[in-house]
A and B are shown apart, each in its own frame.
Chain A
Amino acid sequence: MRRNIFKLLVTAALSVSLLTGCGAAAGNGAGANDGAKEVTTIAEETAADVNEATGDTYKIGIVMYQWTDSQGENIQKFCDYLSKNMNVSFEYESTYYDDDAQLDCVENLISKGCNAIISGYDTNIVAALSTCEEAGVYYAVALDQITEEDLAGMESKFFVGGTRQFGGDLNALGEEYAEAVADSGVTHIGGISFPAWAFSDAPAIYDGFKNKLSAAGITVDELTFASGMTADDIQQNTKDLVNATAGMDAIFGMSSGLDFVYPAIQGSGIKLIAMGYDTSVASLMDSGELIACGNNNHTQAIASCVARLINAIEGNSYSDSAEGKYNEGSIVNGVAGYPVIKNKDDLADYQKYIIPDDGANGCVTAEELKNCIISNNADATLEQLNTLTNRSLSDIAANK
């Protein structure tokens, strides 16, 4: 009994000491609201200390689903390049696809003294943003556009906006894919996408694709939406679609085409047009199984957020930010391009400029980005930034 009481007391003491913040570290024991104000001050002081210690180096945290895939590796490579060439350093956190962990990641990054945070997606945006606001930390979303509806009426001066994907024009992207297919010799194309609620941009992209090819006399079926998000769902739905459609000789795989759709049509003679990119692209293009593919330009998306966040940290904003082309109501959105790889030359350019080993050869260089930051260029505008981060593969190549 005595031992039980001792254990209980130890548990209680340890729990209480942790929950109450170990006294000294927690400050003066003020109420929670006062504590929130104090926390804000401490977070801001931490950020100021970091800046002082490293010579005005801003620390930006980035939260992604994971960092070990090609997307994460490319972003980290670009960030390493920026940190060597600009007054910025980066900290990384991953949710490992657990949406509930988003806020934990944001809090941990604030604890590490980040002045600003980039989230890959709009996961838990309202809670994450309110946490950033309490701590005086700026917040941006890199791989999703944000609407007023997403924020559910919340307004915050610490939110610098989202980033429109697919080059900002869904129809035009579909047409660009169609151009790659028009002369490939295929006559009958089907399409498969993630469920409509999961990929709401798919119908508009497919419309552009279908309309252009239909005008050229190629049969394009209605888009099929998969019943679920997993690889198994997509592959089964793709097989069902192929079996149910006589004469189909190509499929537009909008649901992670190379990873999820290709395994279902491999060896069937049906050609693939894919949304997505991986290291198998070269061999599949050589074998004629892949007509075209593409991917969001993550470098451009991160670059857009970094410029906007540095401006915000320095207390600057673009004179034209309220009229941004990709804004959604009062929400400022940047933009990132979507390079489409139509042949081996495009592939070589993609590897050279979009996912380069040396960032100096990349689609956004540190010098170009600095020129979009107001403290370096008082005339910098949001339009200028959007132009920089939405250049096509051919524009980027021509500019080198």
Chain B
Amino acid sequence: MNSNKLISFIKNNRNAVVCYGSFLAVVLGFSVMTKGQIFSAYNLKSLIGQMCVLMIISCGMIFMFGHGTVDIASGAVAGLCSLVITLVLNKTENLGFSIVISIVVSVLLYLFMWFVTAYLGLMSIIASLAVMFIARGIVTYILSLNDGRINIMHYNLIMPFKSDIRLSIAAMAVVIIAGLILFNYTKLGKYCKAIGDNKLSAIQSGTNVKAVMFWCYVIAGVCVGIASLFLLARGGNVGKNIGAGKEMDVMVAVILGGMNLNGGAKSRMEAAIIGTITYTLLANGLTVAGVAQEYITLVKGIIFIVIIGLTLRQNKTVREMPR
């Protein structure tokens, strides 16, 4: 490949180059800074545990961001689902049943958002905001009746989702593979991206927007419901802040992966995968590298803005569909 072709390739694939490039830079940078400590068996196990919740939610959120919906309720819903799992588990000692209930609750909340957006015509972010307050309010109220915290009476039932690395890998693998297939190779994924690019054009082309959105919300709800199990296992109990801020972590991760939150044809499931790994490595690597606590947020911010600047800067040569 001569230099002209290489430059042309980089220009045409800037997002992918920056996404994978920043990922490799983070991996190589921290390998050097930590003298390989970041790849110790213990740290790799920790990294997988740390990225599991974010990875599962991020994969689900690609379906939301892909069709142009900004969801800021995922953290609060995950918190509520963790509470639901705890209550059901404490009552029944039936893990399977508690997981099913958690997923059902999550999907119902997401379908409420879908109904408000699709049928009442409200902006999706408003519906998302409402669900966030509802979920957070329920958690706060129930916890206030229980001294601010509810312990899992049978933590041994749920502990494998924290300790057994196979479960984390299996859950992430299933969600990633399902997400890649659904988003890249099915009509649902293509319609989803079409709606994100231009909703009116999608309707004119015969897309059943409400149906597509319905399935996108269901997928997001299922992912949040599953992630709640791992969130709870890592928390060990339900406190007032459970799940708080996860929605922002998700957004940062997918943006780091090169996702445009407006959605559209350039949306990629890989953004969730690479973004989550990069984001988790960033947080873990800075600590393991011994960067002083008072500088970590600043350093993270600088790295973040550099990657975002490279990834999301508008390419004047790329023609986008009119909105």
Interface residues of A (CB under 8 A from B): 3-4, 7-8, 10-11, 14-15, 18-22, 25-27, 31-33, 35-36, 38-39, 42-43, 46, 66-68, 91-94, 96-100, 102-105, 107-112, 123-128, 130-131, 134-135, 149-150, 152-154, 195, 197-198, 200, 229
Contact = CB atoms under 8 A, between A and B. Distances in A.
B198 interface: no
A126 B163 CA distance: 12
Contact of A19 (B38, B48, B167): B48
A100 B244 contact: yes
B169 to A, nearest CB: 5
Those 6 A-B pairs whose CB atoms lie nearest each other, nearest first: A127-B236, A126-B236, A107-B46, A197-B148, A111-B43, A108-B287
B239 interface: yes
A11 B236 contact: no
Nearest to B297: A96
B294 A68 contact: yes
Contact of A198 (B45, B53, B148, B246): B148
A152 B184 contact: no
Contacts of B207: none
B147 interface: yes
Interface in B273-323: 273-274, 277, 283-284, 287-288, 290, 292-294, 297
* B contacts with A: majority SS: helix
A100 B46 contact: no
Contacts of B287: 93, 105, 108-109, 111-112
Contacts of B241: 97-100
Contact of A100 (B159, B176, B234): B234
B237 interface: yes
A126 B152 contact: yes
A26 B41 contact: yes
Contacts of B16: 7
Nearest to A40: B42
B166 interface: yes
Contacts of A31: 166
A interface, over-half SS: helix
Contacts of B133: none
Bin chain B's interface residue count: 35 or more
23 contacts: A8-B180, A10-B20, A14-B274, A19-B172, A21-B39, A21-B44, A39-B41, A46-B40, A66-B293, A91-B290, A92-B292, A93-B287, A99-B239, A100-B242, A100-B246, A111-B37, A127-B159, A127-B236, A127-B237, A152-B152, A195-B148, A197-B146, A197-B147
A99 B152 CA distance: 16
Contact of B41 (A19, A42, A107, A198): A42
Contacts of B136: none
Nearest to B79: A100
B193 interface: no
Given A8-B180, A111-B287, A124-B236, 15 more contacts: A14-B277, A20-B169, A36-B163, A42-B40, A46-B40, A98-B244, A98-B245, A99-B235, A99-B242, A111-B288, A112-B37, A112-B290, A125-B237, A130-B162, A152-B152
Nearest to A134: B163
B41 A123 contact: no
A139 B20 CA distance: 38
Interface string B156-171: 0001001111110100
B136 to A, nearest CB: 12
B20 A100 contact: no
A41 to B, nearest CB: 9
A127 B232 CA distance: 9
Contacts of B146: 197
B116 interface: no
B249 to A, nearest CB: 9
A100 B232 CA distance: 9
Q: Which of B40, B42, B153, B239 has the most CB of A within 10 A?
A: B42
B189 interface: no
B45 A39 contact: yes
Contacts of B237: 124-127, 152
A15 B41 contact: no
B163 A130 contact: yes
A19 B169 contact: yes
Q: Which of A11, A93, A109, A150 has the most CB of B within 10 A?
A: A11
A130 B166 contact: no
A2 to B, nearest CB: 13
Contacts of B250: none
Nearest to B292: A92
Nearest to A39: B42
B248 to A, nearest CB: 10
A108 B284 contact: yes
A112 B285 CA distance: 10
B23 interface: yes
Contacts of A10: 20
A39 B44 CA distance: 10
Contacts of B41: 21, 25-27, 35, 38-39, 42
A111 B239 contact: no
Contacts of A32: 164-167
